[in-house]
Amino acid sequence: MKHIVRILSFFAKEINSVRRQPLLLGGLILGPFLILSMFGVGYTGERPTLRTALVVPPGQKDSELVQNLRENMGATFQVSDEHIYEDQAPAMTALRQNQVDIVEVFPPDMTDVYTTGKQINIDITYNEIDPLLRDWIEYLSYTQINELNKELLRIFVGQTQERVGTLKEYLNQSREQLQSVRNRIDSGDREQARATVQQLREGTTLQLLALAMVPDVSSENSDSASNLQRIKQLLDDVDRDLAEGGALDQQEQRLSEIDQQLAAMQAVADRVRTLDPLVIVSPLRSKTHNIVPISSFSNNPGIAYVQFYTPAVVALLLQHMMVTLAALSLIRERMLGTLEMFRVAPISAEQVLTGKYLGYTLFGLLIMLALMPLLVFGLGIPFPLNQLGNFIVIVLLLTTASLGWGFVISALVRSDSQAVQFSMLLLLMSVFFSGFFIPLKSFIPSIRTFAKILPVTHGLQSLQQLLLLNQAPTTATYLWLLGIALVSFVLSWYMFRRQFQRR
């Protein structure tokens, strides 16, 4: 009984100490709520917009080409009239003076790509120190040029389709002429038949020349060219036979083959003409499916971000709160001199630590009890009631694991300012390595392993799972948190016991 009374002495003392600090309590409950609310209201969730300066070929500033370019650059690249230049120098000055974020230089030969047969460089220059924004600029520039390339290609494909239209006319005429050849052969008018065959050959040669001028943008085109070659060859054979007086049945066979070739080409021409140029330019497109049930997320990007980050903020807050309280706890006992009183009193290091664990754990639970309704009803964070048990266990484990590291810090440091510094370092480490902002998979395996000793790494993952996906945390999560709690307790107990020991 006395054992319990002694442990509870610290429990009551810690609770009394903390409840005397209304500012701290208010800050712990209202602080995260207000910060998350501000984030939700203020965050647009959009990609960064880049103030863009365009350097266009001389005389093109007000051209249709530049207007089309501006339209096709997308909303990410904001180009104002004052930042369209025909000379690169003033654009670079604007970049250096931070009036624009990037400068894009379009060279004079940008429209001649298909005639020159060479790739044209679009120089993009930016002035940015932030690596995240640098990556964004690189990526957005890449997608912008991709889009421009697609647009150019789409226009070109449209032009090609128009040329396919002339091929179709040729095919119709050719089939009519072929029928005339057949009729004349049947009537024995070989000379007239030869003259028509020669007309057909000339037409075929012209179409072959036309196709040769069109870049090989589709397989349909190359099929047409080989068909025409074959037709030309067959026409040569018919012409030669007519001149040499060859057998009629053989010519009829050739004429039938020519007709079949023309019919096949006609079918291809029909298909090519009716194809959407966009399909030819981008025959594949992605359609993504997320198997994670995120239907409970808001459509408002700001709120959706708040919903995603809230469990992480709660986990980080809980860890930081517990680490700081525990880190200050033992060092304050040492600085106040109470340790001397404890050494004389019938109390052990284990009882002191256990009492403090109990007090702070209850405090953490009470804070969660006050904070969660605010988040659920104030910010619309989902809270599946069937996960209440798992939620309490995770909060308890996260609390005790965090307290453990806090007590380890407290046993290591020599002043309360050092305790605060170490707590802040742990917070900084948690922000970077727990997956709070940067996904864990972005780190090398050794850092990912290191991140696992931080309680918040498991806390934020499991709270996200619990609250957002209505999924119970994995057994590994429980074991990791339990392991951290046990190891840190043993470590802090060992170090505190050495300090507590009579000398």
Partner 1 sequence: MSPTAPATAPSVIGLEHVTKQFGATTAIADVSLDVRRGEIFGVVGPSGCGKTSTIRVITGVYVPTEGQVRVLGRDPQHFRASDREKIGYMPQLFVLYPHLTVLENLRFVASLYGLPWKGRRRRLHEVLDFVELTDARHTLANNISGGMQRRLQLAAALIHRPVLLIVDEPTAGIDPVLRGRFWEQFKRLKDAGHTLLVTTQYVSEVAYCDRVAVMREGGVLMIDTPEGLRRQAIGGEVISLRVDAEDTWNAMQLLKRHPLVRDVRRMRNQPMGSLEVYVSDAGAAMPELIQALSTDPTIDMRHAEEYSPPFDDVFITLMQQAERAEAKRHAAEQGVAA
Residues of this chain that interact with partner 1 (CB under 8 A) are 1-3, 5-6, 8-9, 12-13, 16-17, 20-21, 336-338, 340-347, 502-503
Give 314 or 330: the residue with its C-beta nearer to partner 1.
Answer: 330
Give 358 or 440: the residue with its C-beta nearer to partner 1.
Answer: 358
What Cα–Cα distance (Å) separates residue 399 from each residue in 103, 372, 435, 454, 492?
A: 51, 15, 19, 12, 15
Q: How far is CA 114 from the centre of its chain?
A: 33
Closest contact distance (angstroms) between CB of 381 and partner 1 is: 34
Closest contact distance (angstroms) between CB of 324 and partner 1 is: 16
Q: Which two tokens stand for residue 443?
A: 């780190």
Q: Which two tokens stand for residue 55?
A: 């350097």
The span from the CA of 228 to the CA of 236, in Å, is 12
Give 13 or 448: the residue with its C-beta nearer to partner 1.
Answer: 13
Closest contact distance (angstroms) between CB of 10 and partner 1 is: 8
Give 43 or 342: the residue with its C-beta nearer to partner 1.
Answer: 342
Query: How buried is residue 421: exposed, middle or buried, by Cβ count under 10 Å (0-12/13-18/19+)?
Result: middle
Closest contact distance (angstroms) between CB of 347 and partner 1 is: 6
Give 257 or 350: the residue with its C-beta nearer to partner 1.
Answer: 350
Give 119 or 501: the residue with its C-beta nearer to partner 1.
Answer: 501
DSSP string, 171-236: HHHHHHHHHHHHHHHHTT-HHHHHHHHHHHHHHHHHHHHHHHHS----HHHHHHHHHHHHHHHHHH
Residue (of 404, 463, 466) closest to 435 by Cα position = 463
Give 1 or 129: the residue with its C-beta nearer to partner 1.
Answer: 1
Give 21 or 222: the residue with its C-beta nearer to partner 1.
Answer: 21
Q: DSSP character for 473?
A: P
Q: What are phi and psi of 437, to 5 degrees?
A: -110, -40
Q: How far is CA 59 from the centre of its chain?
A: 39
What Cα–Cα distance (Å) separates residue 200 from each residue in 3, 212, 241, 245?
A: 112, 18, 16, 19
Please tell me the total number of residues recorded for the chain in this structure: 503
Closest contact distance (angstroms) between CB of 4 and partner 1 is: 9
Give 275 or 339: the residue with its C-beta nearer to partner 1.
Answer: 339
Give 294 or 341: the residue with its C-beta nearer to partner 1.
Answer: 341
Closest contact distance (angstroms) between CB of 502 and partner 1 is: 5
Q: State the angle between helix axes of 248-274 and 219-244 in degrees (0 to 180), rounded to the nearest 10.
A: 160
Q: DSSP character for 85?
A: E
Give 190 or 343: the residue with its C-beta nearer to partner 1.
Answer: 343
Closest contact distance (angstroms) between CB of 25 and partner 1 is: 14
Closest contact distance (angstroms) between CB of 341 and partner 1 is: 5
Residue (of 304, 295, 382) closest to 36 by Cα position = 304
Give 222 or 415: the residue with its C-beta nearer to partner 1.
Answer: 415
Closest contact distance (angstroms) between CB of 419 and partner 1 is: 17
Angle, CA 254 vertex, CA 251 and CA 260 arms, to 5°: 145
Closest contact distance (angstroms) between CB of 1 and partner 1 is: 7
Q: What are phi and psi of 53, to 5 degrees?
A: -105, 135
Closest contact distance (angstroms) between CB of 19 and partner 1 is: 10
Residue 126, helix vs strand vs coil: strand
For 361, residues 6+ apart whose C-beta sits below 8 A from its C-beta are 396, 399, 400, 403
Contact assessment for residue 220 and residue 271, using Cβ atoms and an 8 Å cutoff: yes
Closest contact distance (angstroms) between CB of 491 and partner 1 is: 25
The span from the CA of 124 to the CA of 53, in Å, is 10
